[in-house]
Amino acid sequence: MSAKDFTQMALEMNFVNHVLPSGGVSGISYMAWRLNKFGIPAGRATMANIVRFAMTFAAFISLVLVAVVIITIDGNINRWIIFASFSLVLASLVAGVVGVYILSSRHRMWKTADRVVRYGNRIVRRLTFGRKKRTFRYSEVEKFFTEMHFDYVALRRDRNILVRPFLWGIAYTLGDVLLYLLTFWAMGIFFNPAPLLIAYGVAGMAGLLVITPGGAGAFEAVMISFLAVAGISQGEAIAGVILTRVILLLGTIGLGYVFYQKAILKYGQYDPRRK
């Protein structure tokens, strides 16, 4: 696949994540649908997204550890910032260990598939008031999780595959944080950038836990509060964070919508020959 195709799909996924309230799940589902047009199975597409998330988190955690060292040396930083940083690192490590524990065993993957089918169909029945009896079929879900397991085994055999995603995760994180920093600098506000990196991560975690599109509201509130605790005045934190978020959302939604509509027109039209 060409870099052009990947860039276009990345913008489409960002658009979907920011307009649908799902904590990033809708973007993963959308990418599975889009990659299927290139002959990539849903399990492999989902595994690729999991690797992307995992390597981005690994890169972020590495940067947070550096930031914590810088903050510890700086005696003017509130010690609650250090506590929040280590809590974020610990939560990420626990989530990673649980994910590896499930993925490393085909038996555990099958048990997970069984739970997804049982609880998924139960939730759908309740949401549709019993009109839709079964949405998830075990054979399809089991195949999906088995594909993910085999991809995980392949990654364990050749861990060098993860090096480039990890390096791109560092570039992605630094680029995102740099945009906030440049906004503050443009407003004449200068401070230690280490707390900004940690605030970005904590706010991102909070954004995944709420159902608003793109974590809007929770992301800004958490990041502003964190920066205020770090010693930045509340007014400056509000101005810098809100302005950056507006720029990000306008760019993401504007560009993403164009490519999303293009993809829908090309692949999403109803075909009466389908059953």
Q: Is the pLDDT of residue 254 over 80?
A: yes
**Of 33-37, 113-117, 271-275, which one has max mean pLDDT?**
33-37
What is the torsion angle, in degrees rounded to the nearest 10, for the CA atoms of residue 189, residue 191, residue 193 and residue 198?
Answer: -100
73 token code pair: 């040396």
Give residue 128's pLDDT band: very low, low, confident or very high (50, 70, 90).
confident
Q: Is the pLDDT of residue 33 over 50?
A: yes
Mean pLDDT score, 26-30: 82
What Rg do the C-alpha atoms of the chain give, in angstroms?
Answer: 21
Give residue 215's pLDDT band: very low, low, confident or very high (50, 70, 90).
low
Please write the tens of the pLDDT for every residue from 66-99.
887 777 776 666 666 667 667 777 777 787 788 7
- Beta carbons within 8 Å of 270's beta carbon, 6+ residues apart: none
Q: Is the pLDDT of residue 275 over 50?
A: no
H-type alpha helices, the chain: 3-19, 25-36, 42-73, 79-103, 106-127, 138-157, 163-186, 193-209, 218-229, 234-267
Predicted confidence at residue 270, as pLDDT, reads 44
Give residue 197's pLDDT band: very low, low, confident or very high (50, 70, 90).
confident
Predicted confidence at residue 82, as pLDDT, reads 67
- Beta carbons within 8 Å of 232's beta carbon, 6+ residues apart: 189, 191, 195
208 token code pair: 């995944």
Stated pTM of the model: 0.72
- Beta carbons within 8 Å of 80's beta carbon, 6+ residues apart: 229
Residue that wins the pLDDT comparison between 270 and 69: 69
Predicted confidence at residue 269, as pLDDT, reads 57
Question: b/e map of 249-273 (b: 16 or more CB within 10 Å)?
Answer: beebbeebbebbeebeeeeeeeeee
Q: Is the pLDDT of residue 157 over 60?
A: yes
| Cα separation, 23 vs 270, whole angstroms | 28
Q: Is the pLDDT of residue 274 over 70?
A: no
Q: What is the mean pLDDT of the chain?
A: 81
Predicted confidence at residue 79, as pLDDT, reads 65
Q: Is the pLDDT of residue 146 over 60?
A: yes
Q: What size, in residues, is the chain?
A: 275
- C-alpha closest to that of 61 among 100, 91, 81, 25: 91
